[in-house]
Structure 1
């Protein structure tokens, strides 16, 4: 009997509550003190197509999903056909025997336990919509795993709490029917068992959730976005919390408007953010340069998905790194942050707003579908130490002492004192064209914009880099210093890499992991220091061209020989990384 370790999958068509079932199952497990991780796959369809929600449960903290399934819930034949090979020996399938033809003969496998449950019949007896099959099978799953129904009921009431009371009760009743049917009619013992544990309460969060929380904590008061997968949920959360936290939320007509609106808000002194994907960010690029030229603080989240063009709207990739590092004509300073987990999504989003205002630059937060949309149990964030820092923002008293205010004063660190519209003595121009210290451009007078002035102003803006580099955290090295193998990566690969390192440890192989959190400005010296002493270096990325490895070669001169790359629209499985590493080590 395997206790408190299971990989549970539900599959079926879009429109039949696949994602809701996975979340409800996971919430019930989390309420029982267990760690969970949810990975979901779905096409860009409202109805139809193949959808799955894969929930991994464990007593210990987990960082990723697995490439195996212990218990498969199949709401249609396609789910069985597509995922049969993923079921482990001794695993099981829950299905409706009246609707799906599943036998050991048709499967050609004797090592799978079959649980035929008359879902359609149960739904007819309940007198509810066929949609509620998803809740029936969650109840049945919990009975097979001998889990406490009370925890499931609590999860259902939480998941459906905003709906009418009748809908909530129907779902509780449907789950109870599935649970009772198994207890009364199925004698076949499952090789897996879930048992509640005493543990502190945890959150079940996506990266999108954590980013929204970080923005709210940072004092974001204006959010403008055009919905785009995989970061649309940030818009939903900000809209839901707008009244509670006094946030203006605007769903714009397009991404161009979203970017220009947050620049306007930032110019007015309001902390502002938007979020988009690669296609939307392409439309924002010209305005990104406007933020840089006017030295207006903004925060933009870019959630990667496979490209080019529309690509795969509901899948994942890490193909936009070089795009964000160089987007926009000319040369200007931007900060690019790539969080690797939900904690970093929260804390680095908070930090992004401070960095944007302190250095008066655009800050880009780079995530992907895997991190943005997948759920993981997460400890409550400790936030008492977080402080909002607004940089060189002038008070009225300070402005009163300035005889001639220059918005773009050529300072030693390149950061100019900032006044806001409406402040006395703080009137200034903020043009998109090159300008002098007072904000006057060649449009006003060619005599002002001498080559010397142009050179001075560009150098002034670029001089911020040295101050920013001192402010940013160095790359994180996880694992022993004297490792046999050093993995280097960024973003969402962090979780699967952690899991792969555990597998290597069981083989007696010492591995460490260099996570590069800040990609611009690039921490060249620290990366060079760590990698220069590494025995074997392996780059792990979710793209075809090994973009981080290329960046490391450019910035440090170190050529990484070994690369593990994946570019099929799916995130890394820990086992994929582990097996690839074993061919190297």
Structure 2
């Protein structure tokens, strides 16, 4: 007999300030510690208090990568959460406090749990209602209380003994409440797992790449990486600077890179707009930098806390003049680490700006991984330093190409590490970096600075990944944070589908390196491009590069991520 499959989705709802995020992270930690595969994401408004937010967790004995539409348990601290009854599964329930919400539901699927009354009787404040409910739901799933204690102790490890004691008391209250509905959750038979989100993935990738300077001006949804780098600054000897604006942030980053260290900045669309001139400065002076562009719906302020993939073509075309760059769009937290690392490597090797394109959904989502996960990162120093620089003959920062060499690009030297000088300029310049008006010099510089670089960078771009049935005549193609949806659709048991995911988007991989994926697309009867924007930016990019047309597309641009069920429904509607 095969192992019993377990699949559950929980949604915790309430106002900002009611501990929704803490509760959601608690459940994610709990189920991953028990060996279940976990995927969780957040939906929150742009406000510090009030409004309506939710945190959704799916856990399973099978792989889980993306949001689900239907819910098995809703835990709500506000009235808005009661409206999700239309999304309940057949056995789904809603847990709420009727007295607190001043609303009673007669539907048998609604379970009234007087959290605040229980807390009052125990002499605890209402602030502990999320901990009581966390314990109560854990008890519904028949989880041993010791695991719940451990999660809460880990979350509040930096708090006083008195606060920890009150939280333990709140857990006991939740477990002592008698619930008629109980779920005998079978063991996952797996070791505990670790959790990663996009923020931590990018941070690990940057630190593992040897990043020693990070400057930014806070802007959702890029701020999490800024905070992560700051929290680890002392441990890894990183200078982290909050600039007065995005112009200062990118120019500080350029200065740090020119001075000899690996440097990074981060922002969202509005801040990136301010960085455009300095982005071109990076291209002209050939100063390597990595830019985190974490997307949210625009234009202007748009939806500050929502998600979208609306800045793909902007990232590819930003700045004035011709200069190369790479644009990577990781699909999950692990890819965040790996592609941030690759962005640093290619940026340093080819002396160009590199853009890591994420979005709110990716940076705020948690995914589980095996406990022994190892992330292989490389950190090769391409710069001329100290004695090696001193012995370098007749150094010229922007020397013309010598195609007889394997890598004819002249190395970037560190100013001050030698008696030799390092010159560059934002004006067109000669080999030594001094301003020039010579047209022939300009042509030679572009031959080296643009054509040679872009041609050789393309050889290092990885092909897209293919999931599901490679012989299927239905092919779904997407990029970036839609990796989870693509993998879930490819794994579905109802329909045979081939799913293709692109994460290295500019320059796109050479046709000969993408032959398998392109053949799958060209031989399919139905080809569907899926993306989170209104204008079909990814579809335009792929079609113009590889000269074919998708037969259909599925687009979403309401600021929310795709869920598995709506995409599957969309595919059925097409075929």
TM-score (norm 2): 0.94
What displacement does 1:87 show? Answer: 1.5
Structure 1 contact 316–569 (Cα < 8 Å) conserved: yes
* Counterpart Cα distance in 2 of 1:75 and 1:12: 5
1:405 positional shift: 1.3
CA distance in 2, matches of 1:426, 1:372: 43
Instruction: Answer yes or no: is 1:522 the counterpart of 2:522.
Output: no
* Contact preservation (8 Å) 1:524, 1:556: no
Where in structure 2 are the equivalents of 1:231-380 lying within 5 Å?
Answer: 231-380=222-371
Q: Quick check: 2:191–2:371 contact (8 Å CA) kept in 1?
A: no
Matches of residues 156-175 of structure 1 in structure 2 within 5 Å? 156-175=152-171
Offset at residue 122 of structure 1 (A): 1.6
Asked if 1:454 is matched to 2:437, the reply is no
User: By how many angstroms is 1:90 displaced?
Assistant: 2.1
Structure 2 unpaired stretches of 5+: none
Q: Which residue of 2 aligns with 1:189?
A: 181
**Cα distance 1:385–1:85, how it changes in 2: closer, same or farther (>3 A)?**
closer
Determine if contact 1:524/1:555 at 8 Å carries over to the other structure: no
* 2:89 match: 88
Whether 1:404 and 2:378 are equivalent positions in the alignment is no
Aligned mates of 1:556, 1:431 — CA distance in 2 = 37
Deviates more, 1:411-420 or 1:9-18: 411-420
Using the alignment, how far apart are the partners of 1:551 and 1:131 within structure 2? 50
Name the CA distance, whole Å, in 2 between partners of 1:402 and 1:29: 57
| Deviation at residue 477 of structure 1 after TM alignment | 1.8
Correspondent of 1:489 among 474, 478, 494:
478
In 2: Cα distance, 1:416 partner to 1:517 partner = 29
The 1:278/1:498 distance shift into structure 2, 3 A limit, reads: same
Unaligned runs of 5+ in 1: 443-448
Alpha-carbon deviation of 1:165? 2.2
Structure 2 residue 499 is matched with structure 1 residue 510 = no
Q: Write the distance in 2 (CA, Å) between the matches of 1:460 and 1:380.
A: 45
Residues in 2 aligned to 1:193 and 1:233: alpha-carbon distance in whole angstroms: 37
What are the residue-to-residue correspondences of 1:204-219 with 2, within 5 Å?
204-219=195-210
Displacement of 1:253: 1.1
Residue-by-residue CA offset, 1:296-337 (whole Å, 9 max, x unaligned): 111111111100001001110000000000000111100000
* Matched residue, 1:547: 537
How far does residue 394 in structure 1 lie from its aligned partner after superposition?
2.2
Displacement after TM superposition at 1:530 (Å): 4.5
Deviations 1:68-125 (A, max 9, x none): 11111121222213x12112232111111322355554xxx55x2x322111112213
Q: Tell me which of 383, 388, 400 is aligned to 2:379.
A: 388
Match of 2:99 in 1: 98
State the alpha-carbon separation in 2 of the partners of residues 211 and 379 from structure 1.
Answer: 19
Q: 2:424 aligns with which of 409, 421, 430?
A: 430
Partner Cα distance (1:403, 1:484) in 2: 60
The count of corresponding residues between Structure 1 and Structure 2 is 563
CA distance in structure 2 between the aligned counterparts of 1:369 and 1:237, rounded to whole angstroms: 16
SS at the partner of 2:275?
A: helix
**1:168-212 deviation line (CA, Å, top 9, x unaligned):** 221221122011113xxx3x224x443443423322121111110
| 2:124 corresponds to 1:128 | yes
Question: Residues 36 and 192 of structure 2 are in contact (CA less than 8 Å); yes or no, is this contact kept in structure 1?
Answer: no
Aligned pair in 2 of structure 1 residues 155, 145: CA closer, same or farther (>3 Å)? same
1:175, 1:13 → 2: CA distance? Answer: 22
Whether the 8 Å CA contact 1:147–1:195 is kept in 2: the answer is: no
| Matched residue SS, 2:417 | coil
Root mean square deviation, CA, Å = 1.8
Q: Does 1:574 align with 2:575?
A: no
State the alpha-carbon separation in 2 of the partners of residues 288 and 560 from structure 1. 33
Q: Cα distance, 1:415 vs. partner?
A: 2.2
**Paired residues of 2:5 and 2:62 also in contact (CA < 8 A):** no
Which residue is equivalent to 1:145?
A: 141
CA distance in 2, matches of 1:567, 1:459: 40
CA drift of 1:36 comes to 1.5
1:475 aligns with 2:473: no
**In structure 1, the residue corresponding to 2:92 is in which secondary structure?**
strand
Helix, strand or coil: the match of 1:473?
coil
d(CA) in 2 for partners of 1:154, 1:284:
45
**How far apart in 2 are the matches of 1:261 and 1:475?**
34
CA–CA separation in structure 1 for the residues paired with 2:22 and 2:312: 32
- 1:445 corresponds to which residue? none
Secondary structure at the residue paired with 1:405? coil
Partner of 1:177: 173
The 2-side partners of 1:570 and 1:384 are apart by 30
Cα gap change, 1:201 to 1:426, in 2 (>3 Å)? farther
**Bigger mean CA offset, 401-410 vs 233-242:** 401-410
C-alpha distance in 1 between matches for 2:33 and 2:518: 44
Deviations 1:440-460 (A, max 9, x none): 113xxxxxx211111111121
1:534 aligns with 2:528: no
**1:481 positional shift:** 2.6
Residue 234 of structure 1, CA deviation: 0.8
In structure 2, which of residues 111, 125, 138 is the aligned counterpart of residue 115 of structure 1?
111
Task: Say which SS state the counterpart of residue 99 (structure 2) adopts.
Answer: coil
How do residues 51-70 of structure 1 correspond to structure 2 at under 5 angstroms? Answer: 51-70=53-72
Q: Does 1:465 align with 2:454?
A: yes
TM-score, normalised to structure 1, is 0.92
d(CA) in 1 for partners of 2:103, 2:88: 14
